[in-house]
Every structure is written in structure tokens, then in C-alpha cells.
Amino acid sequence: MEITRSALAALTLFAADTNADTQEQLTAYRHQIDSLDQRIVELIQQRARAVEEVGNIKRAAHLPVTVPTREQQVIENAQELAKGGPLPPEAVGRIFQNLVEEMRSWEAKLDAAAPQSSSQPAATCSEAPVINAHGHP
């Protein structure tokens, strides 16, 4: 009976120690994820500034609203960059599809608020450069 109590006490201590290690690991990875999320948001905002500039250039040059081939190129480029990573390229493509759509929607709101003549079409975010994992186009 004493051996069983000792074994149970040892297992309880081991489990508590293992749980503490697990919590420390989870906390460390969660901090890493939070830091990465902050960097991702900063890059998205940096991309939005580039999109805004593209819109200004397109409005001044009276260029077409969207360039579907460019949008597709952005998505395909992101998928190519994702090859070899843990997240499948198709998943990265869907993320970029949403990014392009959100940027296009945001820019349409900017265009609607901007003073422009009726001959000036709205610009598109699809011309913005793709930013790689290092923050460079």
C-alpha cells in the first residue's frame, strides 16, 4: 500500500511538472505568434499605403479600375512563395485572394470619397507589389 501511495505521489509530481513545462512552452509559442501577428498587421498596413499610392497614380493617369490578370499574378506569386512551407500553397492563395479583395473594397471606398471627375475610373489594389516574408517586394 505504501508503494502505491509513493508511486501515486511521484506520478502526481511528474504530471504537475510536465503540466508546468507544457504551459511554459505554450506561453512561449503564444508570445511568438503575437509578435508575428503584429508584424503581419504592420506589413498589411504598409501594403495598404502602397495600394493607396497606386490608386493615386492610376487616377491621375486615367487607368482602368481593375486588372484581373495582375490580381491573379499576385495570388499565383504568393502560392509560389509558399511552396515548401508547412501551410499549403492553396491556403496561402486563399489568404491572398481575401487580401486582394479587402484592399479592392477599401480602395473603392477611398475612391468614392475622393474628388474626381466622372471620366476618372477608380483604381485597384491589384497593382500593389507583393511583399515577401522579409518585407520586400
What is the average per-residue pLDDT within 128-132?
A: 49
Task: Give domain status of residue 46, yes or no.
Answer: yes
More confident residue, 111 or 3: 111
More confident residue, 20 or 40: 40
C-alpha cell at position 116: 474626381
Residue among 23, 36, 29, 104 at smallest CA distance from 64: 104
Domain range for 28: 2-127
How many separate domains does the chain show?
Answer: 1
Task: Give domain status of residue 78, yes or no.
Answer: yes
Query: What CA–CA distance (Å, rounded) separates 54 from 125?
Result: 7
pLDDT band at 132 (very low <50, low <70, confident <90, very high): very low
Task: Give domain status of residue 87, yes or no.
Answer: yes
C-alpha cell at position 19: 503540466
Task: Give domain status of residue 136, yes or no.
Answer: no
Task: Give domain status of residue 135, yes or no.
Answer: no
pLDDT band at 8 (very low <50, low <70, confident <90, very high): low
What is the average per-residue pLDDT within 54-58?
A: 89
Whole-structure pTM value: 0.70
pLDDT digits (tens, 9 = 90+) for 81-125: 999 999 999 999 999 999 999 999 998 888 888 775 544 444 444
Task: Give domain status of residue 132, yes or no.
Answer: no
Task: Give domain status of residue 120, yes or no.
Answer: yes
CATH of the domain at 106: 1.20.59.10
Query: What CA–CA distance (Å, rounded) separates 98 from 74?
Result: 12
